[in-house]
Structure 1
Amino acid sequence: MGLTLSVWMSGMTDAGRASSSSALHTLAVPASSRLSVMLHSSPVGAGDARSHWSSSHCSPHFLLSPGGEEATRTPVEQSSDGVRAEKGVSSGLHLWEVLWSPAHRGSHAVVGVSGDNCPLQASGYNALLGGDLQSWGWELGTNQLWHGGQSLRRYPDVRTTTTQGVGGARPEAGSKTGPGSAVEIPERVLLVLDADAGTLGYVVDGCFLGVAFQDLPRGVKLFPAVSSVRGGATIRLRYLNGTTRDPPALMALCSLTIRRSLGPHRKTLTNTLPLPPVLQQYLLPNH
């Protein structure tokens, strides 16, 4: 069966290979096998507690939905406001989805992680997340990375030559930001936190953009967080999945290879694979 499948896949590789039309495609860097498996895995249930914003760790100018998955900033002038997730992590590789419409971001729309003592409200308009040593944030409008109250660099780099990703990766030393205007970031942004390696990165339009921050404190709980200055900004959080520092299982790696070969049409092509129905079902996307 393995030989039959290999021959079948070799004939399907070119047909199944998708080319991304995203402007971010040229800025993507290879992800680690752990992250790649996670990105192609089904998410955990929508009711997971790690999908909730914290009602006790947010600015008074943020209102939460009854389930806690959505946070909306009220119209208030001269105020920067933040909210962090209810649950944090101190180990493992984890993936969250943040949905934030570009039309409702305004200036200083920042997405990242924080410790449990990060300030969540301040006067004036600024990048609140990343404004201290307890938080790390990516400002979506300008693409600037913030930490310790300083703008560190633009992210993503115009060209990053890193050959590894979060979950066993470090960015190339001396990587520089190129010239040009900021890249437009769509509504859906994925946070990739490797608490074991102490790194934070982002996935946008299916493209892993590399390590944004490294040397995050290890063994300390970190929480997904956002900060905003725009009245009416609505931000949704969802925990997708996570894994330990152990290597991915062989079955997961094999299914990843098959899914990549099938490309975006795998939902309609899976039932043509020379595999038992139970394995075909395992390969189907569930999200």
Structure 2
Amino acid sequence: MTYYKNNDGPEPEPEPEPPEHDYVLAELVPDHVLENIFSRVDVPDLLACALTCRTWELVLRNENNPVWRTHCKRKMPLRLWQSNILKNVPTFKSKLRAHYHAWNPKDCSRHIGIKKNGFTFVRLPFVQSTDGVRGKIGYDYGRHAWEVIWEGQLGTSAVIGVSTKDALLHFPEYVALLGSDEEGWGWNVVSDQLLHGAKVVRDYPGGHPVPRVEVGDRVRIILDCEEHTLAFEKNHMFMGLAFTGLPKKKMYPTVSTVYGNTEVTMVYLGQPLDG
């Protein structure tokens, strides 16, 4: 570095050279070390980690690696993530994702109790009451599927579908609640009717006779926010499009029921397999 003589004072001292530091490129950190680090990072921050570099993204892409296993173990007891409830979400990451999408105890009727596992609700035994609950996470983009398992009696009305945050979740009579306003779209699996805007839109699935939904059947809600459609499957049988022209609003999986002590389980599956 060149200095010029300053006649008004002494020459300045040369600037010190920056100290040398040992460092390792992110891409060169061994996978087992990265897995150990990521296991200590909060789950919401792992997305930022995956965007850091290609190596980190590849480590986190493996949905059964020790990172996701560790986080899954922290959030859920072993008996839950090995249970039949989560059999259709086989990887540790998909089980953890389903945990974050489970029923919302802060967005339900006062007559709904969410069980400790988070995936199952109980409709408490109150007479002359219809009660509903929404999932924790809704979407206004992409394609998404949820699996709903009715594990108790259906009663006179059992409605499965989607709604916005503004849809009613309680009514002091026995009614088909989901679809009783402009903010919900539902399939009453007891009457085999589609409901929206307080109207019966049509019979569903229609066409050739299909066995009705029974206790224990697995019904899938399939929401396509790009095509603005809603469809259903029953035990892996596609039932056809139910609704088209859905508005560009954030939609949440929703269920309404009237039967006391009935239990309903919901599991987020991610993107439909046909997508």
> What is the TM-score normalised by the length of structure 1?
0.60
The answer to whether residue 116 in structure 2 is matched with residue 87 in structure 1 is no
Provide, for residues 246-283 of structure 1, a one-character-per-residue CA deviation record: whole Å limited to 9, x for no partner. x96xxxxxxxxxxxxxxxxxxxxxxxxxxxxxxxxxxx
Distance 1:226 1:41 in 2: 21
2:199 corresponds, among 122, 143, 150, to 150
Q: Which letter maps to 1:131? A: S
CA contact (8 A) 2:222 2:230 kept: yes
Aligned to 2:148: 98
> Which protein, 1 or 2, shows the higher relative CO under an 8 Å CA cutoff with sep ≥ 6?
1
Aligned to 2:20: none
5+ residue gaps, structure 2, are: 1-87
Aligned to 2:258: 229
Alignment of 1:1-287 (within 5 A): 45-48=94-97, 49-101=99-151, 103-159=152-208, 183-186=211-214, 187-218=217-248, 220-242=249-271
Distance 1:210 1:71 in 2: 27
What is the SS of the residue equivalent to 2:95?
coil
Shift of 1:50: 4.7
Provide, for residues 225-266 of structure 1, a one-character-per-residue CA deviation record: whole Å limited to 9, x for no partner. 00000001100010112279xx96xxxxxxxxxxxxxxxxxx
Quick check: which has more Rg, 1 or 2? 2
CA contact (8 A) 1:50 1:238 kept: no
CA contact (8 A) 1:143 1:183 kept: no
CA contact (8 A) 2:144 2:224 kept: yes
Distance 1:68 1:127 in 2: 24
Distance 2:240 2:184 in 1: 19
Provide, for residues 1-51 of structure 1, a one-character-per-residue CA deviation record: whole Å limited to 9, x for no partner. xxxxxxxxxxxxxxxxxxxxxxxxxxxxxxxxxxxxxxx996752232453
What is the SS of the residue equivalent to 1:45?
helix
Q: Which letter maps to 2:198? A: G
CA contact (8 A) 2:222 2:272 kept: no
Distance 1:50 1:121 in 2: 24
Regions of 4+ moved over 4 Å: 40-44
Q: Which letter maps to 1:226? A: V
5+ residue gaps, structure 1, are: 1-39, 160-179, 249-287
> What is the TM-score normalised by the length of structure 2?
0.63
Aligned to 2:45: none
CA contact (8 A) 1:97 1:240 kept: yes
User: Percent of pairs identical after alignment?
Assistant: 34
